[in-house]
Amino acid sequence: MTERLRLMAVHAHPDDESSKGAASMARYAAEGVEVLVVTCTGGERGDVLNPRLQHKPELLRDMVEYRRREMAEAARILGVRQTWLGFVDSGLPEGDPLPPLPAGCFALEPLHVPTEALVRVVREFRPHVMTTYDPSGGYPHPDHIRCHEVSLAAFHAAADPARFPSEGPAWRTSKLYYHATFSRHRILAFHEALLQRGGESPFAEWIKRMEEWDPGARAELEITTRVECADFFETRDRALIAHATQIDPDGFFFKVPLDLQREIWPTEDYSLAFSHVESALPEDDLFAGLRSLAAS
C-alpha cells in the first residue's frame, strides 16, 4: 500500500463531527491524511439551541439550508471533506411515555437501505480507517444508535463482493474505531480540576445525565487508542462554533480553558472495535499498523 492514507468519520448529524473526534481529524488532515466526514442526516429536526439566535424564526423555516452552510464552514475549518448520506433526522423523542418516531426518519429506515448507501461511499472513498459511535450511540439519540448499526454493517458489507454488488468493487477497511472521548474518567477529571482551581464546574448535570442514560456503559468501553491532538483543540472549537444554530458559544463545551484541557487530557480517545492489521495496544495513532505498509 503506497497510496495516501484515508480516514472516514461517520456521524449522525451536522455538528457531531465537531464535538467528537474533530481535533484528531484536523491533526490528520494537517499531516496529509485524506479525511472524509459522512453525515447520515441533515439535522432537519434540530432546535435552535443557541440563545443568541432563538429570536430568529427564519432559521426554523429553513433549518436544512442553515445546517448545510454551517457544516460546510466546519469542514473548511477542519480541513476535511464532507458528504451527506441523505436521510432524514429522527429528532430526539421526549416525554413519558416517549412519542413514536416520525415516519420516514433515519432510525426507522430498514437497516439495509442506509447500509447500502454507506457501502457505496465506502467503496468510492476506500478508507483505511473508519470511526463511528459505540452501540450505545454515546447517548440515547435514535439516530446515533442507528448510525452505529449502519456503520458497523457497512464496514463488513463493503468488504464482501456478494453484498450490494451494484455499489462498486469491494473494499476492506482495515480498522473500525468507536469514539470514547466522552468517558466518565475524562469528564470527572475536568470536573475535579475546575473545582480544585476554585471555579465552578458545568459538568455536574452532565455526570448525572450520563448515569441516567446508560449506567456503566461508558466505563465498560475500553480505551485502546489515545490520539495526541492538543494543538488542534482551538481548531475543534472554531469548527464547533461554526454550527451556530446548535452551539451556544457561552455553553458548557467551552467552560474548560484550553490550557487546562491540554494539561489534563491532551488526547482524543477511541476504542478499537475491529482490525484486519496487527498493532500493539494501547495505540497512539488510528493508523497504527498501517503506516509501515503505506511506506513500503
Ordered by where they begin, the domains of the chain are 6-182+222-295 (3.40.50.10320)
Task: Pick 66 or 41 by higher pLDDT.
Answer: 41
The model's pTM: 0.93
- Binned at pLDDT 50, 70 and 90, residue 179 comes out as very high
Q: Is 55 annotated as a binding residue?
A: no
Cβ-contact 26, 235 below 8 angstroms:
yes
| Maximal C-alpha separation, the chain | 60
Q: Is 144 annotated as a binding residue?
A: yes
**What pLDDT shows up at residue 48?**
74
Please tell me what DSSP assigns to residue 1.
-
Which single residue is written with the C-alpha cell 484550553? 258
Angle among Cα 97, 100, 101 to the nearest 5 degrees reads 135
**What pLDDT shows up at residue 218?**
46
Q: Is 16 annotated as a binding residue?
A: yes
**What pLDDT shows up at residue 220?**
66
Task: Dump pLDDT digits (tens) for 230-276.
Answer: 999 999 999 999 999 898 898 878 989 999 999 999 999 999 999 99
CA atoms lying within 13 Å on the CB side of residue 188 = 8
- The chain-wide mean pLDDT, for the chain, equals 91
Name the least confident of 130-144, 182-196, 212-226.
Answer: 212-226
**What pLDDT shows up at residue 199?**
78
Q: At residue 226, what are phi and psi to the nearest 5 degrees?
A: -120, 115
Q: Does residue 58 register a pLDDT over 70? A: no
Q: Does residue 124 register a pLDDT over 60? A: yes
Task: Pick 37 or 196 by higher pLDDT.
Answer: 37
Mean pLDDT (whole number) for 201-213: 75
- What's CA 207's distance to the chain center, in Å? 20
